[in-house]
A and B are shown apart, each in its own frame.
Chain A
Amino acid sequence: DTGVSQNPRHKITKRGQNVTFRCDPISEHNRLYWYRQTLGQGPEFLTYFQNEAQLEKSRLLSDRFSAERPKGSFSTLEIQRTEQGDSAMYLCASSLSTWGLAGGRYNEQFFGPGTRLTVL
């Protein structure tokens, strides 16, 4: 399977603990995005990487959230001192920014299965 993968798929933690999620994008994709989705809502943008550079970060993202993409391949999202309000599905997506290779579907995002976080 060459799609986007995310681990773990489910995470239950106690309030105040730190958690880290991993995303492995489609191998040739240079762009990677993190989103958060709560029940009944659309995905909410968290941050964006082009290769290893973090180019955009939501103002909604508090200092407790940090993301990395150290070698321009996989990415990690860490939440420190988790709160109950952090309970959500965390989605990762990747895309290819090259016009010629995208078959006209420029920057089409492919989503992973998500990591469901429950903070008790």
Chain B
Amino acid sequence: AQSVTQLDSHVSVSEGTPVLLRCNYSSSYSPSLFWYVQHPNKGLQLLLKYTSAATLVKGINGFEAEFKKSETSFHLTKPSAHMSDAAEYFCVVSVPSSNTGKLIFGQGTTLQVKP
């Protein structure tokens, strides 16, 4: 069975400092992994995705994530936080069986960016 665990429910950083949002996954198959961002009362925007190509994935707005199979991790990073990065972030794994495209979401990490 597939599952995803976001290790921090809340992360607070100062503007201009690095961001690290941690995610571990469990999958019986080679997973497809995604990070989505949700701003308050808004829909979800795809930041980046991993689908068994390069293990270091670059996304939008300066975010990137590294797939580490040995650690079953897919942590999201950004070198320098911006105030506009404050939002809810979801690590997501795709269920590969049955070609349903079903997504399993983590519980989310709230990123706070302080001036």
> Is B a genuine binding partner of A?
no
List chain A positions with a Cβ less than 8 A from chain B: none
